[in-house]
Structure formats: C-alpha cells, structure tokens
Amino acid sequence: MVKQTIQIFARVKPPVRKHQQGIYSIDEDEKLIPSLEIILPRDLADGFVNNKRESYKFKFQRIFDQDANQETVFENIAKPVAGSVLAGYNGTIFAYGQTGSGKTFTITGGAERYSDRGIIPRTLSYIFEQLQKDSSKIYTTHISYLEIYNECGYDLLDPRHEASSLEDLPKVTILEDPDQNIHLKNLTLHQATTEEEALNLLFLGDTNRMIAETPMNQASTRSHCIFTIHLSSKEPGSATVRHAKLHLVDLAGSERVAKTGVGGHLLTEAKYINLSLHYLEQVIIALSEKHRSHIPYRNSMMTSVLRDSLGGNCMTTMIATLSLEKRNLDESISTCRFAQRVALIKNEAVLNEEINPRLVIKRLQKEIQELKDELAMVTGEQRTEALTEAELLQLEKLITSFLEDQDSDSRLEVGADMRKVHHCFHHLKKLLNDKKILENNTVSSESKDQDCQEPLKEEEYRKLRDILKQRDNEINILVNMLKKEKKKAQEALHLAGMDRREFRQSQSPPFRLGNPEEGQRMRLSSAPSQAQDFSILGKRSSLLHKKIGMREEMSLGCQEAFEIFKRDHADSVTIDDNKQILKQRFSEAKALGESINEARSKIGHLKEEITQRHIQQVALGISENMAVPLMPDQQEEKLRSQLEEEKRRYKTMFTRLKALKVEIEHLQLLMDKAKVKLQKEFEVWWAEEATNLQVNSPAVNSLDHTKPFLQTSDSQHERSQLLSNKSDVNARKILPSPCPSPHSQKQSSTSTPLEDSIPKRPVSSIPLTGDSQTDSDIIAFIKARQSILQKQCLGSN
C-alpha cells in the first residue's frame, strides 16, 4: 500500500501577444518547494482607495515555464505514473484550467510537429517499449475512450460515430455493484497488441470529439474526455494476476459567459461544462475536509467515473494549466487555488493482485484427495463404489512408470485403498499374459506378412492398369478433337480459296493461258491468305498447351480439351463482351474516383480559406477595437457559393460511383456464373466422351478420313513448314524422358515381373488422320505419354 497526496504541477502557456513584465515570478530553490507568485497591480484610475491583494503565492511540486517542451513534461509527470501502472497500481493524470490555457495540447499534443506529441502518445510508446523488454510476464492491454458531453457519456471508439448523429448513438451509463465498484455500460474495450494499434484507436477517438470555435479558442474541446489504458500481467505458471488502469483525463475548460459573450448552442455547452467542474470542486472540498462523512460523487458523471482517482485506490497527478495574461489573471488565480485544495487529498494506492480461481480449484481438489486418502488409511474402512475411468487411467500410468523405472528401490504408491491395490495386481497379470501371447505369435505374424505382400502387388497392378486405361481414353478423345480441328481448317481453307477465285473472276480481266507472270502473281497473292489461315490453325492448336497448371485437379489431356471446349462454346463471346464492359467500367470508376478526390481537396481548401477569413476579421476587430461584422462580406459569399457548387458536384459524382460499383458487381457475378456453367458443361461432355470411347472403342478406327484438299506446290510447302513448327512446339512442351545412365540400364534389365505385366498400347492401334505430318505429331505425343506413365508406374513400385 502506498499513501501519498495528489501531486500537483503547474504549466504556463506562452502568451499570444507580449505582456508587461512582472506579472508573475517563479522561485525554484533546491532546498524549498517551488512556488509561483502572481502579481496583480492595483487599478487607481478611478481615484478610489483599493485594498485588494497585489501578490498571490502558490506552491507546486514543479512549475514548467513557457519554454518547457513536451518531452520535459512527460519525463517529470507521466513517466513515474506509467511506471507505477506497470508495477500493478492504478494511476490518473488530469489537466485543469480555463479554456484556451493548453490542456488538450498537454494531454493529447499538437498535430503540426512530431515533437509536439502529448502525454497520451508518449505514454503509449513508453508502456509498449517496457512490455517488449520484459519477457518474464504475459501482458494484455486494452483501450477505452469515454466522452462526457452535456453530462451524457458517449463511446468515442464506437464505429457508428461517422454514420449516425449524436442523439442516435447509445449513451454510456453508470452501474454500481454491491461493493460500490463502478461499471460503465455501452463502453467498449479494444485490445491493442502493438503501439500502432493503440495510436490508431487514439486518433479515431480524437476525430470523434466535440470541438467548436469560441472567442477564447479557435478549436475548443466542448467535452470531458477520459482515455483509459487497462493493463493485465501474469507470470507463466503462477496463479496471481495483476490488473491496473491508467486514466488520462482532458477536462473541458471553464469560462465566464459574461466575459466571452457566447450564446445559443455554445452557451448550453458552457453551462454544462461549468456545472460539472463545479461538482468536481465540491468533491475536492469534501475530500479535503477531515470530518466530512458524505462525498457527493453521484452529482455528476465525471466525478462518478473518477471516484477512485479522486479519493481511493489510485496514484493521482494534476496539471494546472495557466494563461498568465493580464485579462486572464483572475481565472489563473482561481485555478491555482483549486490546485492547492487538490493537494490536500491523500490517496491509498493498493497493489491490484488477484488469484486465478481455476488454479485455486485445482489446488483444493488435490488437497481434498490427500485428506480422503489419509482418512481411509486411519479408519481402514473398505470402499464399495467402483473406481472411475480417470482413476483407472491414472493407475495404469503409475504402473507403466514403475515398470520403466530402472531403480531397484522404487515403489508403487497407490495409497491405502484396497480397490486400487487389487486393480494394480490384475493389470500386472494382464501385462504378463499379453507378453507371452505376443512372443508366441511373432513367428506366425512374419509368415503372414510375406503372404500379404502378393495381394498387395496384385492390387497395385490393378490400380496401375486402371490409370493406363484412363490415359488411353484421354488420348482417344484428343485424337478425335485433332481430327475435327483439321477438318475445320481444311473446310475454311477451301471456302477461302473459292471466295478468292470468285472475287478475281468478277473483278480482274481474263488472262491468257500459259502466261507464267500472271500465274506467278496469283500464287503470290494467294500465299499470304493461306499462310494467315495456317497461322489461325497453329494458334488454335497451340491452345492445347496453354494454362498448364491452372487446374491442378485436371490431367494434362483434360486441360487441353477444356481449352478447346471453352473456345468453341457459345458463351465465350458473352464472356469476352462482359470482360470488355467490365474493363470500361473499371476505367470510368477510376476516373470518377480521381475526380472525387480532387473535389474533396478543393472543398477542404475552400473551407480553409473561409476559416482564415474569419480569423483575419476577428484579429482585425481585436486590434482596432471594432465589433466583428455579423453578415459575411462579398468575398466570403463568393467562397461559400463555390463551396456549395463543389459539394453538389461531389455528391453527383459520388452517386454515379455508387451506381458503377453496383454495375461492376453485377458484371462480375454474371462472369462467375458463366464460368461455373462452362465448367459443369465441360465435365458432363468429358464424362460422355469417356463413356462412348469405352463402349465403342473399335469404332474409332473406322472413321472416314477427309480427302485432302488439292493445293499448289507452294501452299503445300508452306503448310508442311507450319505443321513442322507446331510439332516442334509440342515437342518442347512435352519433354522426352532423359536418356538412362548405364547404371539405370543395368537395373532396368533386371526389372520385376510387375513392370513387364503393364499393358502397353501399340502405336498401330491408334486412330490416325491420314496426313503424314499430323500422324507423326500424334504418334510422338502418344509415345511421350506412354513413357511418362511407365516412369510413374516404376516410381510407385
């Protein structure tokens, strides 16, 4: 237990304008407590006698002057509190002062420079750095962020903040258990495993805070915010768990309404802020009085949440932020008086440790069992109930460990329960009998293993034969498809030649027979078109070897057949059209997204210009002692009209982008459905083709071959050259097996009978097309397949 008073610190805000010298002084004597003296000069302009005090002196643990940076404030204020939280104590740091005195800058920090980080981000970095260094414990960190606005609690980490208004959000309510512990309903705890996750939660909460512009501050926080870090630690194997929490509180600033002259919604907010701070001061006064029996914690939500921090189990620190300008001296003196009252409160911080109930239950169960054994040993009474399965399993483990122990002095301890003793004897007897039976059956099991090897070989042979039969079916299907492709190519060439001859006869004048120059021109004109047709044929045949490995569940022949089936399917054109439309919609959506980003940046720029114009008008009014005009000028009207136009343009483009998103999703769904339909139809077709080949395999050889089309010697030479190129491509894609080494040849000469019994399909039984070059391609393809299958069979054997 640690007993100490609330630590108070003071921080002076740098003034906006130069102030007269001698308003305050700081006395930092090493032997004495630092003190702050505020000098308030008398006003003798009216000629009356003024007996007010001219000097006010206040003592603090430390006073940070105008030149103190954020790092110094963290090292002296927040770092000791964070260290106590890591040790298992609760901690609280809260900033108090008038509006515009630098509370939010001290707690959260500024957004312009990295060095302006406040207490919260620096504390998170320090805590996670210490957690990484300490590997002896298991730590768990959770984050919560509470906002108290107009005496109503809201969760700043609720994801519904951006899409809902403040009235539609669920309010955080206070629940109290019989032990007077406070629980907050509708306040979520988010686990943070790294510093980055914790900072993201902090930034999310800061964007959801209520901020408004007031005459005292351009970005005044209009609510109290409590950022809480929940930390749990546990040593591995220990039953003790430590819980600690750190409250980092940014209070809203008090303000005098008569002095600021606010009205409307700002006046309502100021009323609730001043009322909650008034209740906080009442609680502080009650706690500072020794004989006070009742503490009014329940008057406001903030004092209820901070009950432990203000007068309970917590190590609390207060930062008094002061704006020591001449117009703010009265508020600064009031803040210092509040800090002096806070320093009188004494808290008792206790180490928050608790024992894991599961481990306690296990320890108590073990103790109960030991007491039962001792009682049975003393009384000697025989138990009638049977042993449970857990007890039997435990006894078998004890017997096994006893038999494996090589120490001759080891003993089998089962207690005084005769049921366990009898079970141990029965189990030992069973083990001895099983050992004898195992020795007798060893010889017979070896002979049975030899007998079982032959059925296994037969089963393996049957499996390999089925695989070979399936590959033969695939080869037959591919041969049929090659025939169909060749027939289509020949018909296309024939029709193209007919069309060209008819076109020449209708367009060109008749030529003389036997004219070698004219014949040569005809051959030269027909050669490119024929070459183009053969290139189309080569492209179609090359589709058989594309996309290898995309469908690992299909075999090589099945993949090639699927590519050709997909190309000739009726839905392929629809799929291609949908792809083109989808590509256009993606391009349009990308262009719209860029336009929306430009409009958003332009809206932000216009808002900044309007804000800068307001600041200039206020500054001009203060410098010239003129009232700020209520009606906007012509330039501001022009900026506002541009802002509204950009907003309408942004809304129109955003609506179009949403419609494009729906259309893109619909097109993707249509393409997915078409692909699934294509896959299913191919599987049905493939199964039918395989069934037909198994039933009518002799009919394949009886197919009529298409009569080759008569061509000129030049076109025949081009066609043979193209087909030879295609066979070279196929030869490169279906690699032949490497030549065996002499050692492997010697091994292959002594192969097993199982290898010789594999059925090999003779090449003469393969149905051919009639064209010598195409038939050579088919035979080379089939031989490569058979060599691969033989290698697979030898590898599995």
Residue linked to tokens 């600041």: 615
339, 10 Cβ separation under 8 angstroms = yes
State how far the Cα of 691 lies from the Cα of 696, in Å rounded to an integer: 8
DSSP class of 290: T
Q: Which two tokens stand for residue 496?
A: 């193209």
User: Residue 791 and residue 531: Cα distance in Å, rounded?
Assistant: 40
| Strand, coil or helix: 226 | strand
Characterise 704 by phi-psi region: left (phi > 0), alpha (psi -120 to 50), beta (else).
beta
Residue labelled with tokens 């006893």: 402
Tell me which residue has tokens 């070459």: 531
Half-sphere exposure of 464 (CA within 13 A, CB side): 24
**What is the per-residue burial (b if ≥16 Cβ within 10 Å, else e) of 458-477?**
eeebeebeeebeebbbbbbb
Alpha-carbon Rg for the chain in angstroms: 46
480: CB partners within 8 A, 6+ apart: 689, 700, 703, 767
**In this structure, what are the phi and psi dihedrals at residue 349, rounded to the nearest 5 degrees?**
-90, 130
Spatial separation of the C-alpha atoms in residues 756 and 751, rounded to whole Å? 8
Q: Looking at residue 254, what DSSP letter applies?
A: B
User: Which pLDDT score is estimated for 772?
Assistant: 54
What would the DSSP string read from start to end of 27-44? Answer: E--SSS--EEEEE-----
Q: What is the 3-state secondary structure (H, E, C) of 727-791?
A: HHHHHHHCCCCCCCCHHHHHHHHCCCHHHHCCCCCCHHHCCCCCCHHHHHHHHHHHHHHHHHHHH
Q: Residue 618 and residue 61: Cα distance in Å, rounded?
A: 38
Instruction: Please tell me the predicted confidence (pLDDT) of residue 86.
Output: 92
- Between strands 315-322 and 240-250, the pairing is unpaired
Segments of the chain with pLDDT less than 50:
45, 507-553, 698-766, 768-769, 797
Measured distance CA(771)–CA(708) in Å, rounded: 8
Q: Which residue has the tokens 């690699």?
A: 735
> Which residues are paired to 143 by β-bridges?
190, 229
Beta strands 220-221 and 35-39: pairing type? unpaired
- Of the candidates 110, 91, 196, 208, the one whose C-alpha atom is nearest the C-alpha of residue 156 is 208
CB 146 within 8 A of CB 228: yes
Which H helix or E strand runs over 354? strand 353-355
Torsion sign (Cα): 426, 428, 433, 437 = positive
DSSP per position, 384-412: -SPPPHHHHHHHHHHHHHHHH---TT---
Q: Is 745 exposed, middle or buried (0-12, 13-18, 19+ CB in 10 A)?
A: exposed
Euclidean distance between the first and the last CA atom of the chain, given in angstroms as a whole number:
76
Instruction: For residue 145, give the nearest of 93, 92, 209 by alpha carbon.
Output: 209
Position of tokens 């090639």?
560
Measured CA to CA, the distance from residue 140 to residue 244 in angstroms comes to 11
The DSSP 8-state label assigned to residue 241 in this structure reads: E
Dihedral sign from CA coordinates of 503, 504, 505, 507: positive
CB atoms near residue 425 (< 10 Å): 9
Q: Give the C-alpha distances (Å, rounded to integers) separating 591 from 597, 601, 703.
A: 10, 16, 58
- Alpha carbons within 13 A on the beta-carbon side of 116: 8
The dihedrals phi and psi of 89, each to the nearest 5 degrees, come to -105, 150
Measure the CA–CA gap between 582 and 580, rounded to whole angstroms: 5
Q: What is the tens place of the pLDDT at every residue in 237-275?
A: 777 889 999 999 998 877 776 666 667 778 888 888 888
Contact in structure between 187 and 205 (CB atoms under 8 Å): no
10 phi/psi in degrees, rounded to 5: -125, 140
Q: 3-class SS at 134?
A: coil
pTM (predicted TM-score): 0.48
Dihedral angle computed from the Cα positions of residues 788, 790, 795 and 797, in that order, rounded to the nearest 10 degrees: 160
Distances, alpha carbon 698 to alpha carbons 231, 476, 518, 703, 766, in Å? 80, 11, 50, 10, 10
Is residue 198 within 8 A of residue 207, CB to CB? The reply is no
- Nearest CA to 71 out of 133, 126, 130 is that of 126
The two structure tokens encoding residue 396: 């078998």
Q: Report how far residue 260's alpha carbon sits from residue 627's, in angstroms, rounded to the nearest whole number.
A: 13
What is the separation of C-alpha 351 from the centre of its chain, rounded to a whole number of angstroms? 36
Q: Which amino acid is at 767?
A: P
Inter-residue contact 349 to 40 (CB < 8 Å): no
For the beta carbon of residue 483, count every other beta carbon within 10 angstroms. Answer: 22
Instruction: Provide the 3-class DSSP secondary structure of residue 655.
Output: helix
| Neighbour count for residue 311 (Cβ, 10 Å) | 22
Query: How many C-beta neighbours within 10 Å does residue 380 have?
Result: 8
d(CA 73, CA 11): 9
State phi, psi for 46 to the nearest 5 degrees. Answer: -85, -10
Contacts of 71 (CB under 8 A, 6+ apart): 115, 122
- DSSP conformation class of 273: H
Residue at token pair 């809203």: 252
Cα 411 off chain centre by: 56
Contacts of 711 (CB under 8 A, 6+ apart): 530, 719
Q: Report how far residue 372's alpha carbon sits from residue 420's, in angstroms, rounded to the nearest whole number.
A: 14
Give the Cα separation of 146 and 224 in Å (integer): 8
- Given a contact cutoff of 8 angstroms between Cβ atoms, the answer to whether 153 and 173 are in contact is yes
Residue 579 identity (one-letter amino acid): K
Separation CA 213–CA 479 (nearest Å): 82
Cβ–Cβ < 8 Å for 74, 229: no
Q: What does the pLDDT read at residue 499?
A: 64
Containing 369, the helix (H) or strand (E) segment is helix 357-379
- Residue 141: the pLDDT is 95
